[in-house]
Chain A
Amino acid sequence: MNGSPMTLWEQAQARGVSRRDFIRYCSWLAAAAGIEASAIGQVVQAMEKKPRLPVVWMHFQECTCCSESFIRSSHPVISDIVLDKISLDYSETLMAAAGHQAEKSLQDTIKKYKGEYLMCVEGSIPTGDDGVYCCIGGKSAIDIVKEVAADAKAIIAWGNCATHGCVQAAKPNPTTATPVHKIITGKTIINVPGCPPIAEVMAGTIVHLLAFDRIPQLDGLNRPKAFYSRRIHDTCYRRPNYDAGLFVESFDDENARKGYCLYKMGCRGPVTYNSCAIMKWNNGVSYPIQSGHGCIGCSEKDFWDNGPFYQHLASFPGFGIETTADDIGVAVGAATVVGIAAHAVSTNIRKGKLIKSEIASSKEKEETSTKGGA
C-alpha cells in the first residue's frame, strides 16, 4: 500500500505475463462479466491504465460461504482477481493482519483511498439491542458499516444475508438482522443475492466495476441484470417437461429417473432469479435441478420463511404447519356452500307460506279487478 499502486498491466509484466496472455486474460474477464466481444478493447484499456482497486471486504452475520464460493471460482484467472488484481486491504477471513493491525489497516484504507475503495459486505447487520449481537474490535456492525460506507466508491452486498437477511432474518428474527440496503440509504447498493452467489457472478460484478468504473445495470431489486434478469425456470434444461406437463411425483419414481420437471416437488425455479441453470456450479459441473433436487430459491427474499421446500405453495401463516392457502380456500368454499344450503332451506320454508297467501290474495284480486279499475 505504499505509493500509487501498480496498474494491472504493470503487475502482469512484473510477473512475466506475455501480452498475448494478458489479452486472453482480459477476454476471460469480459466474458465473465457478460460483456460483449466488441467491448473487450475497453476492458483491456482499463486493465492497462487502472491501478488496483482497493477493496474492503466486511464480514458480519454470515457463514463465509460467499467468500468460500468466490475463492473457488472455476477459472484460475478469475480467482486471480480477488487475490492479485484487486487489492484486498481488509477482509476478516483472508488478511494476514490481526488485532490492532487489522483495524489500523481498515482505517488506513478508508482514509487514504477516500471515495476510491470498493466496499463489499458479507452478512446481515443486527440492529436489535443497539447492535450488540455483532461487534468487531469493540464496535458494533451497524456503526462499522455506516462508517465504511460513507466514503465508499461503490458498495456490493454479497449473498442473501447482506441483500435480504437470509436465515438470521427468518421469523422471528431474534437479532433484528437487517440487509445492507436498509441501513445505508442514499447510495446504490449492488445486491448479489444467493446462498452463496455463484462465484462467476461475484467475479463478473467486480470485473464490471473494475473495467468500466461504474456499477453494472441493475434491476428493480438492484441486482446486476446480466446475471439476475432471468428465472432459473426459464433457463432450465428441464423446462420442456414443464410445458409438456411431465412432472416428478415423488423422488425416486420413474418420472424422477426420466428427468421430468421438479415443479410438483416444490422446485422454486419458477420464482427464482439467478444464473444457476446457465453458469452452473463448481466449474460448470451441475446445479441443484440437474442433480435431481428442486431449487430452494436461495437468491430470493424470505426463502426460509416460504417453506416447506418440498411444496411450491407456502404454508399459510397462523394456520399451523403445512396448511396451504388451498386448504383454507377449500374450507371457506365448503362453508359457503353449507351456508347457502341452509339459507335455501329456510327461504323455501318462508316462501312456501308466502306463495300460499299470495295465491289466496291473487284470487281475491281477480275478483275485485273485474269490479273497478286500479
Chain B
Amino acid sequence: MENTLIQRVYVWQLPVRLYHWVNAIAVVLLACTGYLIGHPFAIQSGTEAYDNYWFGTVRFTHFVSAFFFFFNFIGRIYWGFVGNKYASWHNFIPTKKKQYEEMVDVLKVDILQGTIKPLESIGHNSLAGLTYFISFLAFLFQCITGFGMYAAMSTSMLPHLFSWIVPFMGGDFAVRQWHHIMMWFFIVFSIVHVYLVFYHDYVEGRGIISSMAGGWKFIEKEKNK
C-alpha cells in the first residue's frame, strides 16, 4: 500500500440529501401501506363499521406519502439540471465510453469481488447511476399507475393528468396488478441498495454511509486532480 493522502470532498448538496431521506421515508411508508392495502389484517367480527377507520387511515397514509414522493421526485429531477456535478443528470444516463468502462470495473469489484481499487467516480459510480435511472423509471411508472387509479375518486387536477393509463392498460385491474408487482422492485431495490452502501463503505472506506448525512466523502488526493 502506497502512502496516500485523503481529501474531503463536498459531494451531496443539501437538496440531494433532503431528497434522499424524504424519498426513503416515503418509499418505506408506501411499500408498507401498499402491502397492507393488498393484504389487510384479519380483524375478527364483533365490531361495527362506525367504530373503525383503520383501513381508511392506511389508504390515506398511502395517498399522502404518494404526493410527497411525487413532488420530491420532481424536485430531484429539477436539481439534476441545476445542482452540482455530482447531482447532474449526466450521472444517471450514461453517454460516455468512460462510464461504460467503469460499470465493468464496478461489476468486477461488487460481484466478482476482484481487486479492490478506488473507483473513478466520486459521486455515484456509473453502474449505480444507471440503476438509479432505472429506479426513476420505476418511480414514474408507480406515479402514473397510482395516480391513474386514484383519479377515479378524486376531483383534483393532478391525478387526472394520469387517468389515461387506465384505458391504455385495459382497465383498473391491470393497472392495479402492475402497480402491485412494481412494489416488489422497490423492496428488492432497498435490500440491495442498503447492502451495497455498507459493502462499499466497508471495502473502500470513503465514508459513503455518512456522506448522505453530512454530504462529505473522502477520496485519495491523486484522484481529485
Contact = CB atoms under 8 A, between A and B. Distances in A.
B184 A332 contact: yes
A243 B55 contact: yes
Interface of A: 220-221, 230-231, 234, 240-247, 249, 253-255, 257-258, 260, 263-264, 268, 270-273, 297, 300-303, 306, 312-314, 325-326, 328-329, 332-333, 336-337, 340, 343-344, 346-347, 350-351, 354, 357-358, 361-362, 365, 368-369, 374
Contacts, number: 146
A314 B179 CA distance: 13
B10 interface: no
Interface stretch (B16-24, B40-48, B85-93, B137-145): B40-48
Contacts of B167: 220-221
Contacts of A231: 152-153, 172
B180 interface: yes
Contacts of A306: 173-174, 177
Given A271-B171, A306-B173, A347-B203, A333 B152 contact: no
Given A244-B54, A245-B55, A340-B192, A313 B177 contact: yes
B173 A336 contact: no
B116 interface: yes
A333 B41 CA distance: 22
The 9 closest A-B pairs by CB, nearest first: A329-B184, A245-B55, A244-B52, A271-B172, A243-B56, A220-B167, A240-B49, A254-B45, A361-B1
A244 B3 contact: no
A328 B184 contact: yes
Given A220-B166, A313-B38, A336-B191, A245 B173 contact: no
B113 interface: yes
Main secondary structure of the interface of B (DSSP, over half): helix
B38 A300 contact: no
Given A247-B40, A326-B38, A230 B152 contact: yes
7 contacts: A241-B49, A254-B44, A260-B45, A303-B173, A325-B177, A332-B188, A333-B188
A357 B48 CA distance: 68
Contacts of B47: 244, 246
A231 B199 CA distance: 48
A256 to B, nearest CB: 9
B37 to A, nearest CB: 10
Contact of B45 (A255, A313, A340): A255
B81 interface: no
Interface residues of B, number: 51
Given A301-B173, A374-B3, 10 more contacts: A220-B163, A243-B52, A245-B40, A272-B172, A301-B170, A313-B38, A325-B180, A343-B113, A347-B203, A369-B3
Contacts of B45: 246, 253-255, 257-258, 260
Contact of A313 (B42, B180, B195): B180
Nearest to B55: A245
A312 B173 CA distance: 9
B116 to A, nearest CB: 7
A247 B42 contact: yes
A314 B192 contact: no
A290 to B, nearest CB: 16
A188 to B, nearest CB: 14
A240 B45 CA distance: 15
